[in-house]
Structure formats: structure tokens, C-alpha cells
Structure 1
Amino acid sequence: MSKARTVLPTYVDAPSVYIGGEWTPSTIVKNVRNSTGVHRIDIEVEKHIASQYKRPGQYIKVQGVERPVLLAIASPPDERNVLSFLVKDTPYHKYLLDLPAESSIDLSIPMGRGFQIQEALNTHNDDQQIKHIVLMACGSGLAPIAAVIESGCLQLSPTNSQEVMDIKKSPDRTITLYIGARTRAHLPFAERYAEWEKKGVKVVPVLSRTEGRYVQEALQAELLEAPENTLALLCGMKGMTDAATELLLAAGVPKSRILLNF
């Protein structure tokens, strides 16, 4: 793995130790624009980092200019040594977005509990098995949701993931992804939607600029059947997740089945 470092003039090295462990030099292998306002960055990591990624929804810290940047992992936890990320194009992320392939950056190990899917399932009886799965994300917040879809934890297709959560297959289960963005050009991972649809995920783009609505409003317009049998995974801006949580609770979805990755 190359350790050559490309440093922007504004980059300031942070301390060599972060709270919880040491930084590990890692190598960017791809940094490309995935959609308007969002980059896809693939980073080659050491084995001990890959092995600590066990559950979709976990994140890593990237050594930043003033403080570490937190990025949710977009690829599934299968011990691959290249992790993918969706990074929003903001001044805060500029130094990272400007780094070309072969640049070296420092990462933490994967952190956080991720989506506690198994735990949510184990809190209910068999007559309350999951029949409906609602996935909600905005912009680069799609990253951990993509990891869920592609990890196999929803048992959409065979997988070699480290941890396959026990969601029993059901012929009448529905899975709907509400993905919010300004316009279609802003939709991240749009090239994957057709494949996700083939796996059984209904993808519903919600476009705030061209349609004038947001994902929580799209959810409100849908009539949830059997809310007690619904599992919801949310990732995005706090305003969206708070509003969606309120709507789901009001509809009758158990609080323990409304999951956030952070």
C-alpha cells in the first residue's frame, strides 16, 4: 500500500493519536464525483481496520484540518480492504475532495454501533415479524443505507458478509427506500437503483427543488400498513430524522424499530 502523502497548502496535521486509538495511514484509490454535490471516495485500508467493520451504519474518523471528519461507510462489511464513502461537497470537506488517487490520509478504526437491526427484531414476538421495511436517507446520508442494502442483512440476495442479521424471508415483505435530493442530478448512487429494484427494494426519489417536497412528506403521503410490523432505518439531517421519527411513532411504529446509525 502506498504511503506517499499529498498535502494541500491549507492542511494542518492533527495529533498522531485520537481519543480511542491511533491514526492509521490509508490510501485513496478513487475520488470521483458521483452526483451533483457528492463525491465517491474509495480508500484502501489496513486489515485491522477492515476487520473492525462489522455492521452497516458504522463510521470512521478521517484526520481533518481543524478536527476529525466523520464519514459513514457506504460499502458492506465483508472484510474487503477498500472502503467506500459518499462525501458531500462542502468547504468543510474541501481538502478531502481535492486529494487525488494515491494520496495518503489517516483513518481511525470503524466506530459506532451501526444499525441495531438484530436487536430490534429480538424485542418482539413472532406475531410481530417484520413485514415492511422503510429506508430513508437524504443526499450523502444514503451511504450507510447503501451498506445495508448491499450487505445482505435484509436477505435480498446471497452474501458473504461477516454478520448476516436474522430477518426471516417473507414473500409479502415490502422494502421501500425514500431518497431525498434537490434534483435527479443530485441523487447519489443513482447508477445502482435499477439493481436494488431487482433485489426487491422499491426506490422512491424525493426531489425538493423540482417537486417541492421532502422525504418525510413522501412518507406522510404513504399509508403504512401494519405499523407494528414495520422496521425503519433513517439517515440524514436531524430535521428529517426527527420529523420522520415523529411521523412513524404517530403511525404506530414501535420506537425500538426506528433505527439511526449514530
Structure 2
Amino acid sequence: MISSGRILLLLAAAISSASAFVAPVPKPSVLTTTTNTQQLPIAANNNEANIRRGTVLFMGWGPDPIWSPATVTSNEKACQSGSCVSITLSVNPETAAEYAIPGQYVQMRLDGDTKPLFLAIASGPDKENASFEFLIKKTEGNEWITSAASGTTVEMSQVLGGGFPMDENLEGFKYDFPTQNVLLFAAGSGIAPIKAAMESGQLNVAGSGGGGGRTARLYYGVQNPDELCFVESFGQWEQMGYQIVPVLSQPPADWEGRTGYVQAALEEDGVPIPRNSGALMCGMKGMAEAVKDILVKAGVFEGRVLTNF
């Protein structure tokens, strides 16, 4: 039991660190992430540890995890360098039924002695398929999952977070103008929840299966081509109506695509019909703040610049 004095101290720490919180993962990033944009800071005693490490979840404590078993069914390299892996796990049908909005996340641990990871789900919601995909960047201490073989059993929490609030802010006429253009921004493993949103059909992009006719463009930033994840899915995403724009900050000499950072690429391209546009993003603090600033100054409604935390 935490004393009332201790609670006041923790609340003060939360308020002082709120300005540092940003997507995701992370990790972290809720959510996305911290340094690998896909996991939040690892925490044994979730809320207190997150505050101590400078991350605040919803400026509150959030629900305690309810653990259930999940089994690794595949573990594959997600990019050419092998720095990230794509891991699929079979989950309880009840857990699969809880996942409704891209951008939601779970906590995961090997057992009660393992510090849990906070992981955004990379696959789209599918209540009929009790399976979740995750994109995980290899870091010191997470080998128990990044190297896990098929058949490995881990513990997974219930589905957490509100995800990207697309229905509330992109649909209808809440901001007087319908959303006709969607801009997506991802840095590093922050592509995970963006992938889930694209493949869900909930963005109603022309050709995505959602029945809509919106245009959509993804700016995906990494250091070099070997760090691009899910490259094998780029063709499928394009068929679904998404224009894919890889942006490399450390490109090789033979790279003919965009270079620099995604916010610079956005500034170069401009925002198509800002009052009819919306955006989803997941990545580091600098990228998120710069992209939002460009979009809002161009005339995009601030409420239509969505994050999943």
C-alpha cells in the first residue's frame, strides 16, 4: 500500500515530467514508445517506474494488467538488418475480442520475474482471429521475446489504451469539413501501430476495403534502407490506396528516394487541402512535434492530428 505522502510525491513527479512524454513505443511510446518507438519504458511496478523514467501514461495510473498465456507462432526478421523482428502470438479469444481500435497495446512478460514490455499491436483488429502481430526492436534485455522460438509461452495483459481516435475525429462533420486526405507518419518501429491502422480498413482509404474514397500517404522515416520494416508489404499497401514515401536520414550513395526527415519531406510536399485532411503519427518526440506544428500551421484541425497515447 502506497502512503498518501508517497502518492503526492509521485503526482508531483508526473506533472513535472509530462512535457517530456511523447510517442512509442515504443516505445514506446499510449503509446508508442521510447527509444525503439514500440515499447514504453520497461516497468516492474508499472506506474511508479514509468514516472521515475520520465514517462506518464494518460497522466494517471491506468488499469493493472490481467495476465493470460500467449504462445509464439512465428518469429521473423522484419527488416534487412535484422534489428527488428516481427513476432506473431496466438492469444486468448477474449483478448482478441478486446482489440477494436488500431493503436491499442498490451503488456508482455515472460513470467512474474520479467519486467514487462509495452507493445503496440501491429496487426489490424480481427475478432475472429485470435492472433496478434508485434514489431519489436532488439534491445539489451528483451532477448527473451526477440529470440523466442515458436511454441514459447509468455504472459500477456488485456488490451489497453484507446488507440487512434479515428471515429471521433476523422469521421462525420465534427470539424465542419469531411476528411478526404489522410497523412501518416512513422519513424523506426513506430510503423507498427500505423501498419495496424492501414490494414484495418478503418481509415476508409480508396481501395483499402473500408468503403471510402480518401487519398492517403505514408511518410516512413529510418536511417537507411536496411532498417525499413515490412518492405514486402509495400506493394500491398499501395494496392490498398496508400502512397508510400520512405525517407532516409543516412542514405547510401545509390539511394534515389527522399532523404532527411519525414517532417522536412512533409514541408517540401505541402498539405493537400488542409481543412479536409487528417493525420496519424507514431515516432520520436522531435518528429511528432515538428509534424504537428507544420500541419496545424497549414490549416489542419488540431483535433485531426492523432496519436495513439
Partner-residue secondary structure (3-state), 2:78: strand
Amino acid at match of 1:31: N
Q: Distance in 2 between matches of 1:30 and 1:137?
A: 24
Closer, same or farther in 2 for the Cα pair 1:92/1:240, shift >3 Å?
Answer: farther
Partner-residue secondary structure (3-state), 1:30: strand
Contact map agreement 1:206 1:214 (CA 8 A) in 2: yes
Cα drift, residue 216 of structure 1: 1.1
The TM-score with structure 1 as length reference comes to 0.84
Contact map agreement 2:208 2:241 (CA 8 A) in 1: no
- Say how many residue pairs are matched: 238
Alignment partner of 1:219 is 2:266: yes
Cα drift, residue 92 of structure 1: 4.2
Cα drift, residue 107 of structure 1: 0.5
Q: Distance in 2 between matches of 1:23 and 1:203?
A: 37
Cα drift, residue 249 of structure 1: 1.2
* Matching residue of 1:181: 222
Q: Distance in 2 between matches of 1:58 and 1:136?
A: 17
Structure 1, gaps ≥5 residues long: 1-13
Structure 2 counterparts to residues 43-192 of structure 1, below 5 A:
43-63=89-109, 67-79=115-127, 80-121=129-170, 124=173, 128-156=177-205, 157=207, 169-170=212-213, 173-192=214-233
Amino acid at match of 1:53: Y
Q: Distance in 2 between matches of 1:187 and 1:158?
A: 22
* Matching residue of 1:25: 69
Amino acid at match of 2:77: R
Runs (4+) of structure 1 moved beyond 6 Å?
Answer: none
Q: Distance in 1 between matches of 2:244 and 2:93?
A: 34
Q: Distance in 1 between matches of 2:218 and 2:212?
A: 18
* Matching residue of 2:296: 249
Partner-residue secondary structure (3-state), 1:221: helix
Contact map agreement 1:27 1:103 (CA 8 A) in 2: yes
Partner-residue secondary structure (3-state), 2:99: coil
Q: Distance in 2 between matches of 1:130 and 1:237?
A: 25
The TM-score with structure 2 as length reference comes to 0.72
Contact map agreement 1:135 1:176 (CA 8 A) in 2: yes
Q: Distance in 2 between matches of 1:198 and 1:212?
A: 24
Q: Distance in 2 between matches of 1:19 and 1:115?
A: 19
Cα drift, residue 125 of structure 1: 5.3
Q: Distance in 1 between matches of 2:250 and 2:208?
A: 37
Cα drift, residue 93 of structure 1: 2.6
Contact map agreement 1:87 1:93 (CA 8 A) in 2: no
CA RMSD of aligned residues (A): 2.2
Contact map agreement 2:166 2:203 (CA 8 A) in 1: no
Structure 2, gaps ≥5 residues long: 1-43, 46-61, 252-257
Partner-residue secondary structure (3-state), 2:186: strand
Q: Distance in 2 between matches of 1:226 and 1:197?
A: 21
* Matching residue of 2:78: 34
What is the aligned-residue identity percentage?
Answer: 36
Pick the structure with more strand per residue. 1
